[in-house]
Amino acid sequence: MNQQSISRIMHRAKVEAILFLSLENIRYLCGFSGSDGVLVISGQERTFLSDSRYEEQAREEIHDANFKKYKQKIEGLARFLGALGIKRLGIESNAITYEDYRKLQEKLPRISFVPLAKEIGSLRVYKGAEELEKIRRAIRIASGSFTDTLSGIKPGVRERMVAENLECRLIRRGSHQPAFNTVVASGPRAALPHGVASDKPLQKGETVVVDFGACFQGYHSDETMTLILGKPDAQQRKIYEIVRRAQEKALKAIRPGVSFRRIDAAAREFIVRAGFGKYFGHGTGHGIGLAVHEAPSISPKARGVAQEGMVFTVEPGIYIPGWGGVRLEDIVRVTGQGCEKLTGLSKDLEENILVR
């Protein structure tokens, strides 16, 4: 299946082989789930190279690929590549460090290295049935964990404790680990889009942004809820509704053929018109799968259009320094006609008011 995409990339870039270094692409292309190694695809031939620590695991896990052991990564890789007798090598240039690149190039002066970033970056944008099922599993683990945690979210409890409860539940329900540092940002801290849980206690009347995710067999979920601890005041209600409607606008804009920019603009323009444009500093969404953040990017500068089978987040937000913030995030899959929301937790304000 993916050999076609690879062959196309090779053909266009006029390279005889490609060196993959990102663990996500390596897992995608040959099944290895460990944390060190490289994959070389030369024509139709795939070789996964790693050291002795991963030999048994590699032999168990990899499919459609040979295994080759090295002692020193760059030396072993250079020897292997040198023996291929190729002239042009594609390199996953946003996954190799400059240090490794220059050492490798130094050892292989006769091979032209061709940086491939964008070309390879889109390799995983279409999710197959098995991938989709894993993402759905991750989402179910995460939403179940969140629901179980809800009763412990109340005034007096520290943000950190909420995150601990949630993360333990994620692990218990089968997430190999939390997908990322759980965000629990309350009151003024909700103005931090990436406000990792702190020791701050939650207070009555505050908004609490909770951004969390699970990881199932390498595939991630990512969802953000904004809770209100008590009856929302006028400003909370107003901002929440703007974000919710902005998200709705973006969701409605999604269908095959619509540009990512237009999807971003659908949410952004609504927020701008409401007068809060300068408080929405990030993109509207990002692809998700083996990486928490991957192609496509849904942002004002993004290129490309949505196509059936793509999976990405839709997560507008408003962050007002000193006051706080609101973000609502769902994951969607682009369908033939529009999009299907994969995440299931309600983003209605009334459902997210916790009065205790």
Q: Give residues in contact with its own copies (CB under 8 A).
A: 33-35, 51-54, 56-57, 72, 91, 93-102, 115, 117, 164, 167-168, 171-172, 176-178, 181, 191-196, 281-282, 301, 319, 321
CB nearer to its own copies: pick between 160 and 255: 160
Structure tokens at 3: 């050999």
Residue of 280, 258, 259 whose CA lies nearest to 270: 280
Residues sharing a CB contact under 8 Å with residue 10, sequence separation 6 or more, in sequence order: 16, 17, 18, 41, 90
CB nearer to its own copies: give 231 or 278. 278
Which residue lies nearer to its own copies by CB, 152 or 281? 281
Q: How far is the CB of 334 from its own copies (least distance, A)?
A: 25
CB of 309 to its own copies, least distance (A): 26
Q: Work out how close the CB of 258 gets to its own copies at its nearest, in angstroms, rounded to a whole number.
A: 23
The 10 Å Cβ neighbour count of residue 87 is 12
- Least distance to its own copies from the beta carbon of 91, Å? 7
For residue 76, with 0-12 CB atoms within 10 Å meaning exposed, 13-18 middle and 19 or more buried, which class applies? middle
Q: In the bound complex, what is the minimum distance in angstroms from residue 197's beta carbon to its own copies?
A: 9
Q: List all residues 6 or more positions away from 72 whose beta carbon is below 8 Å from its beta carbon.
A: none
**194 vs 341, beta carbon nearer its own copies:** 194
User: At its nearest, how many Å lie between its own copies and the CB of residue 96?
Assistant: 5
Enumerate long-range contacts of 23-30, CB under 8 Å, 24 or more apart: 24/124, 24/218, 24/289, 24/290, 24/291, 24/294, 25/92, 25/95, 25/120, 25/123, 25/124, 25/290, 27/218, 27/290, 28/2, 28/123, 28/124, 28/290, 29/2, 29/65, 30/62, 30/63, 30/64, 30/65
Return d(Cα 250, Cα 350) in angstroms, integer.
21
CB nearer to its own copies: pick between 253 and 288: 288
Q: How far is the CB of 288 from its own copies (least distance, A)?
A: 16
Of 212, 215, 214, give the one whose Cα is nearest residue 226.
Answer: 212
Nearer to its own copies, 71 or 110 (CB): 71
281 half-sphere exposure, CB direction, 13 A CA radius: 9
Output the furthest CA–CA distance in the chain (Å, rounded). 70
Q: Which is nearer to its own copies, 88 or 237 (CB)?
A: 88
CB of 121: closest distance to its own copies in angstroms? 10
Q: Is the dihedral of CA 289, 153, 196, 192 positive or negative?
A: positive
Query: Given the complex with its own copies, which of 160 and 238 has the nearer CB atom?
Result: 160
